[in-house]
Amino acid sequence: MPANADQPQPDPAAKPTLAPTSNRFGLVYMLFACLLFSLMNASAYAISLFDAALPSSMVSGIRILTNLLILTVPALLGGKLIGLFGDCRVSLWLRGLFGSTALMLSFAAIPRIGPGESAFLTASSGVFVMLLGPLVLGQKNSLLVWLAILGSFGGVSLLFDTHNSHNLLGQVMALSAGLLSALAYLMVARAGRSNTPQTVIFYFCLVGLFVHALYFSRFGYRMPGNPESWGLLLLVGLFGSGAQHYMTRAYQSAPAALVSSIGYLAPVLSLAWSITLFDQIPGQTALLGAALILLFGVLLPFLR
């Protein structure tokens, strides 16, 4: 799932300057978040190589469980567990539903199309936010924003492989994850700033565990069959949780538009790991599509 889905919507009035020290710290935090998100995707793909029979739902389930434990154990020890529930508004629960389903789909896409391509398609969440913003939040888009949205979806279309049903299914999953992540992002925007980032992530984990429990009760589950898979599962959980932490710090320290644009480094790094570690080199058309998504995705927050 995209990194920025846990954060408040970018402020159109925020100026992307690097003068304050806090802005520079925000950029460093986001760079760490992008690196950790890319390592999470690479680890998730490596699991499919060590244990091809392990369902992706188990990978996403462990990822969510690890994040939940990291949140709740310190809160429980400090007597602050109740505070994680915030104001319990409906948009928080919907954020958890959309976000956890997006995570399941993105992890299901990674073994099919690799960490690089899936990351770029899931990063379309930023484009979907701009597309749905007028409908959900009543915000208006300028002509330049609409042109950038069209350019981004032009890049998405170049990534789709209609000649291979296996790849096509993975691409549809990754793009659907982008759409659901955008809906989760918009739910947080509708909830306003009455809840902390920790509360938002808590609902993502809480609802996510319930969604996975329903899935396992219907389709069953399978535990990892070797130590390598267990180790990689732990890395997926730790990388994902660390990325959430640094991303939250980044949005607290720097203008949202700037942090959002830096966030597109994550799919670039995922593509780099895909090429260097797994020898998955995209074709020229796919690279052009990824470049268009990157270009317009970075521009969109500033055009808003």
Report percent pLDDT > 70 for the chain: 88
Looking at residue 296, what is its pLDDT? 85
For the chain, the structural domain boundaries read: 16-303
- Residue 288 CB: number of other CB atoms within 10 A? 15
**What is the dihedral angle through the alpha carbons of 68, 70, 75, 76, rounded to the nearest 10 degrees?**
80
Residue predicted with more confidence, 283 or 134 = 283
Give residue 162's pLDDT band: very low, low, confident or very high (50, 70, 90): confident
Q: Is 55 left (phi over 0), alpha (psi -120 to 50) or beta?
A: beta
Q: What is the model's pLDDT at position 21?
A: 64
The 10s digit of each residue's pLDDT in 61-108 is 999 999 999 999 999 999 889 999 988 889 889 989 999 999 999 999
Of the listed ranges 190-199, 212-221, 293-302, the least confidently predicted one is 190-199
The answer to which of 45-49, 205-209, 237-241, 252-256 has the lowest mean pLDDT is: 252-256
- pLDDT of 137 higher than 70: no
Q: How much is the pLDDT for 4?
A: 45
Residue with tokens 């808003």: 304
CA max distance for the chain:
56
The type of residue at 13 is A
Mean pLDDT of 20-36: 83
**Which pLDDT score, from 0 to 100, does residue 20 have?**
54
Average pLDDT of the segment spanning 182-205: 80
What does the pLDDT read at residue 221? 87
pLDDT at position 143: 84
Check residue 11 and give its pLDDT: 45
Measured from the Cβ of residue 68, the count of other Cβ atoms closer than 10 Å reads 20
Which residue is associated with the tokens 């330049």?
A: 144
Q: What are phi and psi of 60, to 5 degrees?
A: -65, -35
Is the pLDDT confidence value at 19 over 60? no
CA–CA gap between residue 245 and residue 196 (Å, rounded): 12
Q: For the segment 50-74, what is each residue's pLDDT rounded down to a tens digit?
A: 998 899 999 999 999 999 999 999 9
Report the chain's mean pLDDT, rounded to a whole number.
85
Q: What is the pLDDT of residue 120?
A: 92
Residue 147 clears pLDDT 90, i.e. is over it: no
Read off the pTM: 0.84
Poorest-confidence range of 122-131, 136-145, 185-194, 232-241? 185-194
Residues with Cβ within 8 Å of 62's Cβ and at least 6 positions away in sequence, in order, are 233, 234, 236, 237
d(CA 44, CA 47): 5
Calculated CA dihedral for residues 260, 266, 267, 271, nearest 10 degrees: 160
Distance, CA of 50 to CA of 72 (rounded, Å)? 31
Give the integer Cα–Cα distance in Å for 102 and 64.
12
Which of 300, 274, 229, 238 lies closest to 118 in space, CA to CA?
A: 274
pLDDT of 249 over the 70 cut = yes
Is 245's pLDDT higher than 90? no
Give tens-digit pLDDT for 195-238.
787 888 899 999 999 999 999 999 988 998 889 999 999 999 99
pLDDT given for residue 122 in this prediction? 92
